[in-house]
Amino acid sequence: QGRILEKTGLCSQITFGRYVRQGRKLGLDPKLFIQDLQFKEVPVRVYQPKATSNGPRRGILFFHGGGWVFGSLDTYEKVCRYLSRESDSVVVSVQYRLAPEHKYPAAYEDCLNASQHFLQHLQHYGVDPARVTVCGDSAGGNLAAAVSQTLAGRSDLPRLRAQILIYPGLQALDFNLPSYQQNRGVPLLFRERAAFFALLYLNGDALHMQEVLAGSHIPPDMRLKYRKWVSPDNIPEEFKVRGVKPLRPTDFIAEVYETVKRFCEPNLCPLLAEDSVVHQLPESFILTCEYDVLRDDGLLYKKRLEDNGVRVTWYHLEDGFHGIISLYDYCGFSFPSGKRGLDRVVNFLKSL
Protein backbone atom coordinates (compact mmCIF):
# COMPACT_ATOMS: atom_id res chain seq x y z
CA GLN A 1 0.00 0.00 0.00
CA GLY A 2 2.75 2.44 0.93
CA ARG A 3 4.53 1.61 -2.34
CA ILE A 4 1.42 2.36 -4.41
CA LEU A 5 1.12 5.74 -2.73
CA GLU A 6 4.78 6.47 -3.37
CA LYS A 7 4.42 5.59 -7.08
CA THR A 8 1.39 7.83 -7.40
CA GLY A 9 3.47 10.56 -5.79
CA LEU A 10 1.02 11.14 -2.95
CA CYS A 11 3.51 10.48 -0.22
CA SER A 12 6.58 8.46 0.52
CA GLN A 13 6.51 5.10 2.24
CA ILE A 14 7.94 6.60 5.40
CA THR A 15 5.45 9.45 5.70
CA PHE A 16 2.69 6.92 5.11
CA GLY A 17 4.16 4.58 7.73
CA ARG A 18 4.34 7.38 10.28
CA TYR A 19 0.76 8.37 9.56
CA VAL A 20 -0.51 4.81 10.06
CA ARG A 21 1.35 4.44 13.36
CA GLN A 22 0.29 7.79 14.80
CA GLY A 23 -1.69 6.51 17.75
CA ARG A 24 -4.91 8.11 18.87
CA LYS A 25 -4.89 11.12 21.17
CA LEU A 26 -5.99 9.88 24.57
CA GLY A 27 -8.13 11.81 27.03
CA LEU A 28 -7.06 12.84 30.50
CA ASP A 29 -5.87 10.14 32.87
CA PRO A 30 -7.59 10.29 36.28
CA LYS A 31 -4.48 8.97 38.04
CA LEU A 32 -1.71 10.84 36.23
CA PHE A 33 -0.54 14.38 35.75
CA ILE A 34 0.87 14.56 32.19
CA GLN A 35 2.75 17.46 30.64
CA ASP A 36 4.73 18.12 27.47
CA LEU A 37 8.05 19.86 28.09
CA GLN A 38 11.47 20.33 26.55
CA PHE A 39 14.65 18.99 28.13
CA LYS A 40 17.64 20.71 26.49
CA GLU A 41 15.49 21.42 23.41
CA VAL A 42 14.36 17.77 23.18
CA PRO A 43 10.56 17.34 23.40
CA VAL A 44 9.54 15.06 26.28
CA ARG A 45 6.29 14.00 27.92
CA VAL A 46 6.39 13.65 31.70
CA TYR A 47 3.96 11.33 33.50
CA GLN A 48 3.57 11.83 37.27
CA PRO A 49 1.21 9.86 39.52
CA LYS A 50 -1.29 12.22 41.20
CA ALA A 51 -1.51 10.26 44.46
CA THR A 52 0.57 11.54 47.33
CA SER A 53 3.76 9.63 47.93
CA ASN A 54 5.62 8.85 51.16
CA GLY A 55 8.89 9.94 49.63
CA PRO A 56 10.59 10.52 46.27
CA ARG A 57 9.48 8.17 43.50
CA ARG A 58 11.28 6.01 40.98
CA GLY A 59 12.16 7.72 37.69
CA ILE A 60 12.02 6.06 34.27
CA LEU A 61 13.53 7.50 31.08
CA PHE A 62 11.64 5.87 28.21
CA PHE A 63 12.87 5.73 24.60
CA HIS A 64 10.29 4.42 22.13
CA GLY A 65 10.83 1.85 19.38
CA GLY A 66 10.15 2.15 15.65
CA GLY A 67 13.43 1.45 13.88
CA TRP A 68 14.78 4.98 14.60
CA VAL A 69 12.40 6.00 11.76
CA PHE A 70 8.89 5.66 13.21
CA GLY A 71 7.25 6.24 16.56
CA SER A 72 6.30 9.24 18.68
CA LEU A 73 5.16 10.23 22.15
CA ASP A 74 1.58 9.50 21.08
CA THR A 75 2.37 6.01 19.73
CA TYR A 76 3.68 4.97 23.15
CA GLU A 77 1.21 6.92 25.26
CA LYS A 78 -0.62 3.83 26.56
CA VAL A 79 2.58 1.98 27.41
CA CYS A 80 4.01 4.97 29.31
CA ARG A 81 0.78 5.60 31.20
CA TYR A 82 0.66 1.94 32.17
CA LEU A 83 4.28 1.96 33.40
CA SER A 84 3.75 5.15 35.41
CA ARG A 85 0.45 4.03 36.97
CA GLU A 86 1.33 0.42 37.71
CA SER A 87 4.85 0.98 39.06
CA ASP A 88 4.02 4.34 40.71
CA SER A 89 6.93 6.02 38.91
CA VAL A 90 7.64 9.30 37.16
CA VAL A 91 8.08 8.47 33.46
CA VAL A 92 9.84 10.73 30.96
CA SER A 93 9.10 9.72 27.36
CA VAL A 94 11.64 11.19 24.94
CA GLN A 95 10.79 12.35 21.40
CA TYR A 96 14.21 12.00 19.81
CA ARG A 97 14.78 13.10 16.21
CA LEU A 98 14.05 10.43 13.61
CA ALA A 99 15.94 9.05 10.61
CA PRO A 100 16.34 9.36 7.69
CA GLU A 101 15.94 13.15 8.09
CA HIS A 102 18.23 13.04 11.13
CA LYS A 103 21.02 10.49 10.93
CA TYR A 104 23.08 8.88 13.68
CA PRO A 105 24.05 10.14 16.20
CA ALA A 106 21.03 12.50 16.40
CA ALA A 107 18.68 10.06 18.17
CA TYR A 108 21.39 8.94 20.59
CA GLU A 109 22.40 12.54 21.37
CA ASP A 110 18.79 13.59 22.02
CA CYS A 111 18.26 10.67 24.41
CA LEU A 112 21.55 11.38 26.19
CA ASN A 113 20.84 15.12 26.50
CA ALA A 114 17.31 14.56 27.81
CA SER A 115 18.63 11.98 30.28
CA GLN A 116 21.36 14.28 31.56
CA HIS A 117 18.86 17.11 32.01
CA PHE A 118 16.48 14.86 33.95
CA LEU A 119 19.30 13.54 36.17
CA GLN A 120 20.30 17.12 36.97
CA HIS A 121 16.74 18.14 37.94
CA LEU A 122 15.32 15.08 39.72
CA GLN A 123 14.17 17.02 42.81
CA HIS A 124 11.90 19.13 40.64
CA TYR A 125 9.97 15.96 39.67
CA GLY A 126 10.10 14.34 43.11
CA VAL A 127 12.39 11.54 41.92
CA ASP A 128 14.82 9.54 44.06
CA PRO A 129 18.36 9.96 42.59
CA ALA A 130 19.16 6.37 43.61
CA ARG A 131 16.26 4.91 41.59
CA VAL A 132 16.42 6.16 37.99
CA THR A 133 16.13 3.61 35.20
CA VAL A 134 16.48 3.83 31.41
CA CYS A 135 14.04 1.76 29.40
CA GLY A 136 13.33 1.21 25.71
CA ASP A 137 11.96 -1.28 23.23
CA SER A 138 13.55 -2.28 19.90
CA ALA A 139 15.41 0.79 18.55
CA GLY A 140 14.58 2.41 21.90
CA GLY A 141 16.31 -0.51 23.61
CA ASN A 142 19.34 0.22 21.45
CA LEU A 143 19.27 3.86 22.60
CA ALA A 144 18.76 2.89 26.25
CA ALA A 145 21.77 0.54 26.11
CA ALA A 146 23.94 3.23 24.47
CA VAL A 147 22.90 5.95 26.95
CA SER A 148 23.43 3.56 29.85
CA GLN A 149 26.99 2.83 28.67
CA THR A 150 27.77 6.53 28.30
CA LEU A 151 26.39 7.41 31.73
CA ALA A 152 28.17 4.50 33.45
CA GLY A 153 31.43 6.42 33.26
CA ARG A 154 30.02 9.71 34.56
CA SER A 155 30.78 10.55 38.19
CA ASP A 156 29.09 13.97 38.04
CA LEU A 157 25.56 12.55 37.71
CA PRO A 158 23.49 10.12 39.80
CA ARG A 159 24.29 6.54 38.78
CA LEU A 160 21.48 4.75 36.95
CA ARG A 161 19.77 2.12 39.08
CA ALA A 162 18.93 -0.18 36.16
CA GLN A 163 18.46 -0.57 32.42
CA ILE A 164 15.43 -2.26 30.86
CA LEU A 165 15.98 -3.49 27.31
CA ILE A 166 12.90 -4.84 25.54
CA TYR A 167 13.88 -6.90 22.45
CA PRO A 168 16.73 -4.46 21.71
CA GLY A 169 18.70 -4.26 18.45
CA LEU A 170 22.33 -4.12 19.55
CA GLN A 171 24.56 -4.95 16.58
CA ALA A 172 24.72 -4.62 12.78
CA LEU A 173 27.70 -6.90 12.10
CA ASP A 174 25.83 -10.15 11.61
CA PHE A 175 22.37 -10.39 10.06
CA ASN A 176 22.69 -14.18 9.86
CA LEU A 177 22.64 -15.15 13.54
CA PRO A 178 20.27 -18.08 14.30
CA SER A 179 17.32 -15.80 15.12
CA TYR A 180 17.80 -13.91 11.84
CA GLN A 181 17.72 -17.20 9.92
CA GLN A 182 14.77 -18.67 11.81
CA ASN A 183 12.55 -15.59 11.84
CA ARG A 184 13.51 -13.91 8.56
CA GLY A 185 9.88 -13.66 7.44
CA VAL A 186 8.13 -13.21 10.78
CA PRO A 187 6.15 -9.98 11.37
CA LEU A 188 6.50 -7.31 12.69
CA LEU A 189 10.20 -7.14 11.81
CA PHE A 190 11.52 -8.96 8.75
CA ARG A 191 15.24 -9.61 8.41
CA GLU A 192 15.50 -7.17 5.48
CA ARG A 193 13.73 -4.45 7.44
CA ALA A 194 16.19 -4.74 10.32
CA ALA A 195 19.12 -3.97 7.98
CA PHE A 196 17.05 -1.33 6.17
CA PHE A 197 16.33 0.55 9.43
CA ALA A 198 19.94 0.29 10.66
CA LEU A 199 21.18 1.75 7.36
CA LEU A 200 18.59 4.54 7.37
CA TYR A 201 19.67 5.48 10.89
CA LEU A 202 23.36 5.38 10.00
CA ASN A 203 23.39 6.90 6.51
CA GLY A 204 19.91 8.21 5.75
CA ASP A 205 19.61 5.73 2.88
CA ALA A 206 19.57 1.94 2.41
CA LEU A 207 22.29 1.62 -0.22
CA HIS A 208 24.28 -1.64 -0.03
CA MET A 209 21.52 -3.36 1.94
CA GLN A 210 22.07 -6.72 0.21
CA GLU A 211 25.83 -6.64 0.90
CA VAL A 212 25.19 -5.80 4.55
CA LEU A 213 22.67 -8.65 4.86
CA ALA A 214 25.22 -11.02 3.33
CA GLY A 215 27.95 -9.80 5.68
CA SER A 216 30.29 -8.35 3.03
CA HIS A 217 30.54 -5.06 4.95
CA ILE A 218 32.89 -6.19 7.74
CA PRO A 219 36.64 -6.86 7.23
CA PRO A 220 37.75 -10.42 8.15
CA ASP A 221 40.14 -9.22 10.87
CA MET A 222 37.37 -7.22 12.50
CA ARG A 223 34.92 -10.10 12.27
CA LEU A 224 37.54 -12.20 14.05
CA LYS A 225 38.05 -9.54 16.71
CA TYR A 226 34.32 -9.37 17.52
CA ARG A 227 33.74 -13.12 17.28
CA LYS A 228 34.12 -13.45 21.03
CA TRP A 229 30.97 -11.33 21.42
CA VAL A 230 28.98 -11.73 18.20
CA SER A 231 28.83 -15.42 17.35
CA PRO A 232 26.28 -18.23 17.16
CA ASP A 233 28.63 -20.13 19.51
CA ASN A 234 27.46 -17.83 22.32
CA ILE A 235 23.80 -18.68 21.77
CA PRO A 236 22.48 -21.52 23.97
CA GLU A 237 21.78 -24.72 22.00
CA GLU A 238 18.04 -24.77 22.73
CA PHE A 239 17.64 -21.70 20.51
CA LYS A 240 19.13 -23.47 17.50
CA VAL A 241 16.69 -26.39 17.26
CA ARG A 242 14.45 -24.60 14.77
CA GLY A 243 17.05 -25.01 12.08
CA VAL A 244 20.18 -23.00 11.47
CA LYS A 245 22.68 -23.56 8.73
CA PRO A 246 26.32 -22.56 9.07
CA LEU A 247 26.99 -19.97 6.37
CA ARG A 248 30.15 -19.56 4.35
CA PRO A 249 31.57 -16.10 4.89
CA THR A 250 30.99 -13.86 1.88
CA ASP A 251 33.75 -11.86 0.24
CA PHE A 252 34.59 -8.60 1.95
CA ILE A 253 33.84 -5.47 -0.11
CA ALA A 254 36.00 -2.56 1.05
CA GLU A 255 33.92 0.22 -0.49
CA VAL A 256 30.81 -1.00 1.34
CA TYR A 257 32.74 -1.02 4.62
CA GLU A 258 33.79 2.59 3.99
CA THR A 259 30.12 3.64 4.00
CA VAL A 260 29.13 1.68 7.13
CA LYS A 261 32.23 1.52 9.31
CA ARG A 262 30.52 3.45 12.10
CA PHE A 263 28.52 0.26 12.72
CA CYS A 264 31.51 -0.63 14.90
CA GLU A 265 30.86 2.29 17.28
CA PRO A 266 29.29 1.16 20.58
CA ASN A 267 26.97 4.21 20.62
CA LEU A 268 25.40 2.67 17.52
CA CYS A 269 25.99 -1.02 18.32
CA PRO A 270 26.24 -1.34 22.13
CA LEU A 271 27.02 -5.08 21.94
CA LEU A 272 30.53 -4.06 20.80
CA ALA A 273 31.43 -2.04 23.92
CA GLU A 274 34.67 -3.01 25.68
CA ASP A 275 34.52 -5.16 28.84
CA SER A 276 35.74 -2.20 30.90
CA VAL A 277 32.48 -0.38 29.99
CA VAL A 278 30.13 -3.37 30.27
CA HIS A 279 31.60 -4.12 33.70
CA GLN A 280 30.31 -0.75 35.02
CA LEU A 281 26.72 -1.16 33.83
CA PRO A 282 23.77 -1.18 36.25
CA GLU A 283 21.50 -4.11 37.01
CA SER A 284 19.65 -5.11 33.84
CA PHE A 285 16.33 -6.50 32.68
CA ILE A 286 16.27 -8.00 29.19
CA LEU A 287 13.14 -9.19 27.44
CA THR A 288 13.46 -11.39 24.34
CA CYS A 289 10.85 -12.98 22.07
CA GLU A 290 11.25 -16.36 20.41
CA TYR A 291 9.82 -15.22 17.06
CA ASP A 292 12.03 -12.18 16.61
CA VAL A 293 15.09 -11.57 14.42
CA LEU A 294 16.56 -9.52 17.31
CA ARG A 295 16.23 -12.35 19.85
CA ASP A 296 19.93 -13.24 19.65
CA ASP A 297 21.09 -9.63 20.09
CA GLY A 298 19.39 -9.75 23.50
CA LEU A 299 20.82 -13.20 24.32
CA LEU A 300 24.36 -12.14 23.35
CA TYR A 301 24.16 -8.98 25.47
CA LYS A 302 22.79 -10.98 28.41
CA LYS A 303 25.88 -13.19 28.22
CA ARG A 304 28.22 -10.19 28.00
CA LEU A 305 26.62 -8.56 31.03
CA GLU A 306 26.71 -11.77 33.08
CA ASP A 307 30.33 -12.46 32.05
CA ASN A 308 31.15 -9.02 33.45
CA GLY A 309 29.40 -9.59 36.77
CA VAL A 310 26.29 -7.51 36.03
CA ARG A 311 23.05 -8.86 37.48
CA VAL A 312 20.53 -9.70 34.74
CA THR A 313 16.85 -10.53 35.01
CA TRP A 314 15.90 -12.20 31.73
CA TYR A 315 12.37 -12.85 30.57
CA HIS A 316 11.76 -14.80 27.36
CA LEU A 317 8.34 -14.74 25.67
CA GLU A 318 8.23 -18.17 24.05
CA ASP A 319 5.13 -17.20 22.07
CA GLY A 320 6.22 -13.58 21.53
CA PHE A 321 7.08 -11.72 18.33
CA HIS A 322 8.90 -8.45 17.76
CA GLY A 323 6.86 -5.36 18.61
CA ILE A 324 4.38 -7.17 20.85
CA ILE A 325 4.78 -4.73 23.76
CA SER A 326 3.90 -1.69 21.63
CA LEU A 327 0.66 -3.46 20.69
CA TYR A 328 -0.50 -3.41 24.32
CA ASP A 329 -4.14 -2.32 24.01
CA TYR A 330 -3.58 -1.05 20.46
CA CYS A 331 -6.83 -0.10 18.68
CA GLY A 332 -8.61 -2.88 20.56
CA PHE A 333 -5.88 -5.48 19.86
CA SER A 334 -4.13 -6.94 22.84
CA PHE A 335 -1.83 -9.92 23.02
CA PRO A 336 -1.82 -11.74 26.36
CA SER A 337 1.91 -12.39 26.11
CA GLY A 338 2.56 -8.69 25.42
CA LYS A 339 0.68 -7.82 28.61
CA ARG A 340 2.63 -10.55 30.44
CA GLY A 341 5.89 -9.02 29.26
CA LEU A 342 4.83 -5.53 30.33
CA ASP A 343 3.81 -6.83 33.75
CA ARG A 344 7.22 -8.45 34.18
CA VAL A 345 8.78 -5.05 33.48
CA VAL A 346 6.51 -3.50 36.13
CA ASN A 347 7.43 -6.19 38.68
CA PHE A 348 11.11 -5.61 37.99
CA LEU A 349 10.65 -1.86 38.52
CA LYS A 350 8.82 -2.46 41.81
CA SER A 351 11.76 -4.57 43.00
CA LEU A 352 14.18 -1.65 42.63
Q: Catalogue the active-site residues.
A: 138, 292, 322
Contact 15, 35 (CB under 8 A): no
Q: Distance between CA atoms of 93 and 95, rounded to whole angstroms?
A: 7
Closest CA to 39 of 12, 63, 14: 63
In angstroms, what CA-CA distances link 350 with 93, 285, 324? Answer: 19, 12, 22
Q: 243: left (phi > 0), else alpha (psi -120 to 50), else beta?
A: left
How buried is 139 (Cβ within 10 angstroms: 0-12 exposed, 13-18 middle, 19+ buried)? buried
Q: Distance between CA atoms of 31 and 39, rounded to whole angstroms?
A: 24
In 97-181, the DSSP E strands lie at 127-137, 162-166
What residue type is 303 in one-letter code? K
Question: Helix (H, G, I), strand (E, B), or coil: what is residue 1?
Answer: coil
Contact 42, 147 (CB under 8 A): no
Q: Distance between CA atoms of 294 and 324, rounded to whole angstroms?
A: 13
What residues are paired with 63 via a beta bridge? Answer: 94, 136
What residue type is 164 in one-letter code? I
Contact 118, 132 (CB under 8 A): yes
Question: Helix (H, G, I), strand (E, B), or coil: what is residue 12?
Answer: coil
What residue type is 170 in one-letter code? L
What residue type is 227 in one-letter code? R
Q: Distance between CA atoms of 88 and 71, rounded to whole angstroms?
A: 24
Closest CA to 320 of 302, 346, 294: 294
DSSP-assigned letters across all residues of 257-279: HHHHGGGGSTTT-GGG--HHHHT
